[in-house]
Amino acid sequence: MSTTVKIRDETTFDLGDDDDSGFLLDVSAERIMVRELIRTRVYREVYRYNLDRPEYFHGLIQPSDAERSLNGFKMPKRRRIDPDRQFEMAIKAFYRNGFIVLLDDRQVDELEEEIEVRPDTTVTFLKLVPLVGG
């Protein structure tokens, strides 16, 4: 039985904003490991990008050779993105603290942790931005 959960992206720059934007993500079950949640999210983003290959990729992880911009990740060539590669990069970023996962307001520390998702659950991917000059 699949469940739909709300996904939000935040950075340390926009903490506290009242922007209620986000998107809904269908997950395969009410109990899912964090690793599978990330996989589901990344594969959905890549699938949507690969359908039309727009100028910008909007996703959790910056594709290799893409350029970060205010509108997303600008793709120099509108090429197909490999979902397996994007997922590998997401797992590495999780371990390097490139982002943290918050289930409602609780931080999830382990990829193998099984979490319960309900229709009212919000999962926040908080991208950590390094300080400059400090």
Within 31-121, strands assigned E span 31-33, 56-57, 67-69, 72-74, 99-103, 106-108, 114-116
The pLDDT of residue 132: 61
Low pLDDT (below 70) residues in the chain: 1, 12-20, 130-134
The tally of CA atoms less than 13 A away on the side-chain side of residue 31 is 3
11: which strand partners? 127
Looking at residue 125, what is its pLDDT?
95
Q: How far apart are CA 29 and CA 33, in angstroms?
A: 10
pLDDT of residue 69: 86
| pLDDT score, position 122 | 94
